[in-house]
Structure 1
Amino acid sequence: MDVNVMVILGFGFLCTFPVRYGFSGSGFNLLVAAIATQWAIILNNIESLYYRRKIRLDMESLVVAELCTASALVSIGAMLGKTNPVQLILISLLEVSGFILNKWLLQSFLKLQLVNSIMMLHIFGALFGLMLTWIVCWKGSEEPFEKERSDRKSGLFSMLGAVFLWMFWPSFISVLVHDSPERKLWVVCSTYLALAVSAVVAVVVSVLSSPKGKLNLIHMQSCIFAGGVAVGVSISVVHQPWEAMTIGFVAAIVSAIGFRYLKSHMLLAFHCHDTCAILSTHGLPGLLGWLAHLLLQIKDYDDPTMAIRFAVFHICTLLITITLSLSMGITTGLLLKWNFWRPPQHNKCFDDQAFWEFPHLAVRK
C-alpha cells in the first residue's frame, strides 16, 4: 500500500506543478503506472513463464513490479509536458524493459542482491530520461516554456506529492528487506534519519542560494527526499545513524545546488530540457549513494585483496547501468522523433486542453 501511494499519489501530484498541466500530470501518471506495472509483472516472470507456463503473482512480485515502474516515472519526469499519452506509454514500456534487463544482469553476473539492484532505478531512470530529452529536443525547446511556470494552487498540489513521497520513502526502501525484523526496522530508521536531515538542509540551501533569502517551493520539493535516494542505494552497508545522516546531508546539498544551477546550464549548453530536474533530484543523489556504498564497504574489509575485488565488481555495476540506460534512452529517443507519434506542437506543450475535455469551454449550439 505504501509503495502504491508513492507511485500513484506521490509521483502523480508531484507532476502537477505546471499551471495548466494538472489533469495530464496526475492522469497520465496513473495511466503509465497501471500499464508499466502489468508489463513489469510479465517481464519479471519470463523464466517462470517459459519453464512452468505460469506467472508468479503474489505481494512481493507486485511490489517489485511497482518499483520497476517507479524507474519509468523518474524518466518521464524529464519529458513531462512535451509528450502525448501514446509516447508516454512507449517510453514506459521500453524503459521498464531496459531496467528489468539491467536488474537481471546485475543479479545474474555480479550476484547483486535484489534490493541493491532495484535501488539502481534512480541512476538508470535519470540517465535514461536525460538521453531521451536530449535526443528529442526540437526547435523552440532551447528556451523555457511559458506554460511551464507554476502558481499557488499547482505548487500546493505538487508539494503534496513531495510530502507523500517523503512520508512513505522508508517503506519504499525497506519493503524488500527480509533478513530479519530488526534489520527491516533499522533500514526504516536509517532512511528516516537521512530524509529528515536532507529536508532541513534543503530548506537552508534554498534560502542561502536565493538572492532575496526566500524559500523556493519547487526547489525545496525537489530536494527534500535527496537523502532518501542516496541512502537507498547504499542501505545494505549503512550500520550507524551518523552514516545515514551524513549521506542525507551531503545528498541534499548536492541536489539543491544542482537544481539551482545545473538545470539552466544544461538547457543552454546541451539543449537538454529536463522538466522535473531529474538529474539533481534522482541522478546526482543516486551516484552519491553508489559512492557511499563503495567507501563504506571498503572500510569494513580488513583484507586489501577483498576490498579491491569488491571495488571492481561495484564499479562494474555502475558501468553496466550507465551503458544500458544511455543506450536504451538513445534508442527510445530516436523512435520518438518519428512524426508517426504526432507529438504536441510547441504551443500545445504543458496544456491540458490538448488532451482533456473542459465543459466550460464547450461550444454551445
Structure 2
Amino acid sequence: MPSRYLSFRCSVPWLILLLQTLFLLRSFFGFPGAGDVYSPSSLYPELQDVNHMVVFGFGFFLMVLRRYGFSSTGFNFLLIVLGVQCSVLVEDCFVFLRAQQNEVGMKSLAKALVSMTAVVISTGAVLGKANPVQLIVMTLVELIFFYVSRCINRMYLQVPEHLSLMHVHLFGAYFGLAVTSRFPAAPPGLDKSRSTPRSELFSLLGTVFVWVFWPSFNSILADSKREAVLNTYLALAVSAVAAFMLSALTSKDGKFRMPLPVFLQAHVHGAVLAGGVAVGCTAHSIQHPWIAMILGLLATAVTVLGSHCLQRCFNRALKLQDTSGVHFTFGLPAVLGAVAAVVLCVVEKGIAKQWNDLSSLGYLVFVAVGAFCQTICTALITGLITGLILNIKLLKAVHVSKYFDDQFYWEFPHLSVGF
C-alpha cells in the first residue's frame, strides 16, 4: 500500500478481536441455560425479514457514491454483525443493573437487530468520512446511548418497550447529523462525491428491499401484529405513489427525480420509505386504515418538500453535512410520526368521551411529547460528544482529500485499468 495511505493493520483487526472475545465470554457465562435460549419462538419469519432489510436493504441503499460502493456495503455488514452482538451485551449490562427485564433467544436478537437500525441510519450521515475504527467506536457508543435513552423513556416516562424501540429512526438520524457536524466539510467540487448510474441503480435496489420488508420491521415486537403490518403497508404504498407524484410536480422538466447528488436527497429514492417511518410509533394502534394512508402522504410531502426547499435555506446556516439525506428520509418523518402519536392519543380520548379528566389527558400528552423530545435531545448531545471523540488522533481520522474513496480501505488489482 502506498505510503500516502494510512494502515489500519494495527488497529482494526485487534479491535475486532477484542470485541469478539468479550462477546464470546458473554455467551459462555451470560446465557441462563440452553433450554431458555433455544426455546421455540414464532419470531423467526419476521426476524429474517428484518435481517434482510438491514443487511441487504440498507447495504445497497447506502451505495450512492461512485467510488464508495465496497465500503458502503462491506462496512455496513461488519457493523451489523458486530453491533448485534454488542447490543445483546449492552442489554445484559442493563439487566444486571436491573434497568431491563431479562430476555433471551429470538426476542433478544430481534431487539438487537432493531436497535442496530439506528447505527445504520447514522452511518448514512457520515458516509465516506469515517474510517472503520471510527465506525466501530461510533457503533458501540451509539448503542449504549440509545439504550440509555430507551431506559429513560421506559422507567421515568412509562413508554412501552415497543414504542421506545420505534424511536430508533429519530435517534439514528439526529445522532448521525450531530456526529457528522464535527467532521471537516468536503471540498465543494470533489468529484468523488458524485454518483453514477450504476451506484444509483444499486441504491434504488436497496430502497426496494427496505420497502418490501418494512412491515415486518414495524410489527416484529408489536402486540397487534396484523394491524401493524396492514397499516405499515398502506402507509408505504401511499408514500410511494405520492413520491412519484410530488417528484414530477417539483422538478423543472416534470420528470421523476431519482439520481443522488451528494448532500441532496433524491425524491423517489428516499420519499418512498417515509410512510413506513412515520407510522412506526402508531402502526399497531391505528384502527382505521385511512389514517395510516394520510400519514404516508404527509410523510412523503415532508420528505420531498423538505429536500426541495428547506435544505437550501438551512443547510448552509446549520452546516449540515448529510451525505445520504437521512434527515429527510428518516428524521423529519419520524418527528411527524411522534407528533401524530400525540394527536391520535388526544383524539382517541375524545372519542371515548374522556375529556372530563383533563389532568389525565394532559399527563398523557406531556409524557408522549417528553419522550420524543428526550430522544432528540439525547441523540444530539451524545452525537456531538461522539463526533469529538471520533476526531482524536488515536482513531486516525481521514483527511478530507480521501473522503468517499474505496481505495483508501480496499485492494483494487484492476485499478490501473480505469477504476
Q: Kindly tell me: are residues 49 and 273 of structure 1, through their superposed partners in 2, closer, same or farther at Cα, counting changes over 3 Å?
A: same
Q: Does 1:197 align with 2:221?
A: no
Residue in 1 that maps onto 2:215: 170
Following the alignment from structure 2 to structure 1, what is the Cα–Cα distance between the partners of residues 161 and 282? 13
After TM superposition, the score normalised by the length of structure 2 is 0.81
Change beyond 3 A, Cα 1:256–1:266:
same
> Following the alignment from structure 1 to structure 2, what is the Cα–Cα distance between the partners of residues 37 and 67?
9
Aligned mate of 1:151, from 196, 220, 237? 196
User: Equivalent of 2:256, from 215, 218, 227?
Assistant: 215
Paired residues in the alignment total 355
Distance 1:199 1:307 in 2: 35
Provide the residue aligned with 2:378 in structure 1.
Answer: 324
Aligned partner of 2:90 in structure 1 is: 43
Higher helix share: 1
Given candidates 291, 298, 320, the residue that maps to 1:272 is 320
Q: What is the CA distance between 1:283 and its match in structure 2?
A: 0.7
Name 2:180's counterpart in structure 1.
Answer: 133
Distance 1:307 1:50 in 2: 33
Measured against aligned partners, the alpha-carbon deviations of 1:242-299 in whole angstroms (never above 9, x if no partner) come to 1000000000010111123334444422222110111111110000001110001101
- Give the C-alpha shift of residue 343 in structure 1: 1.9
> What residue number does 1:233 align with?
281
Q: From the superposition, tell whether residues 242 and 330 of structure 1 become closer, same or farther in structure 2 (CA, over 3 Å).
A: same
Q: Matches of 2:120 and 2:343 in 1, distance apart?
A: 29
Pick from 364, 377, 387: which aligns with 1:333? 387
8 Å contact from structure 1 (residues 206, 214) kept in 2: yes
RMSD in angstroms over aligned alpha carbons? 1.9
Q: Which runs of 5+ in 2 are unaligned?
A: 1-47, 261-265
User: 1:301-330, CA deviations, whole angstroms, 9 ceiling, x for partnerless residues?
Assistant: 123332211111111102211221111101
Within the candidate set 46, 57, 62, 1:15 is matched to: 62
What is the alpha-carbon distance in structure 1 between the residues aligned to residue 312 and residue 127 of structure 2? 16
The 8 Å contact of residues 134 and 270 in structure 1, kept in 2 or not, is answered as: no
2:228 equivalent in structure 1 = 187
For residues 95-114 of structure 1, the aligned pairs below 5 Å read 95-114=142-161
Distance 2:51 2:77 in 1: 11
2:346 maps to 1:298: yes
CA distance in 2, matches of 1:50, 1:284: 34
Q: How far apart, in 2, do the equivalents of 1:262 and 1:342 lie?
A: 34
The offset of 1:96, in angstroms, is 0.9
* 2:228–2:285 Cα contact (<8 Å) kept: no
Q: 1:266 to 1:86 in 2, by over 3 A?
A: farther
Output the CA distance in 2 between the equivalents of 1:9 and 1:153: 17
Deviation at 1:122, TM superposition (A): 1.0
Asked if the contact 2:153/2:371 (under 8 Å) is kept, the reply is yes
User: When the two structures are superposed, what TM-score results if normalisation uses the length of structure 1?
Assistant: 0.93
Distance 1:15 1:338 in 2: 26
* Most deviating of 301-310 and 151-160: 301-310
Amino acid corresponding to residue 247 of structure 2 in structure 1: S
CA distance in 2, matches of 1:261, 1:142: 23
Select between 292-301 and 42-51 the one with higher mean Cα deviation: 42-51
1:161 aligns with 2:209: no
| Residue aligning to 1:346 | 400
Report the CA distance between 1:90 and its aligned residue: 1.0
In structure 1, the gaps of 5 or more residues are none
2:7 match: none
Q: Which of these residues, 56, 60, 63, is aligned with residue 107 of structure 2?
A: 60
Q: Is the 8 A contact 2:169 2:277 kept in 1?
A: yes
Specify whether residues 20 and 314 from structure 1 end up closer, same or farther in structure 2 by C-alpha distance, changes over 3 A only. same
Counterparts of 1:332 and 1:133 in 2: how far apart (Å)?
Answer: 10
Give the ranges of 4+ consecutive aligned residues of structure 1 lying more than 4 Å apart after TM superposition: none
Partner of 2:14: none
- Distance in structure 2 (CA, Å) of the matches to 1:336 and 1:116: 30
Shift of 1:362: 7.3
Give the conservation status (yes or no) of the 8 Å contact 2:246–2:301. Answer: yes
Question: Does the CA-based 8 Å contact 2:71-2:406 persist in structure 1?
Answer: yes
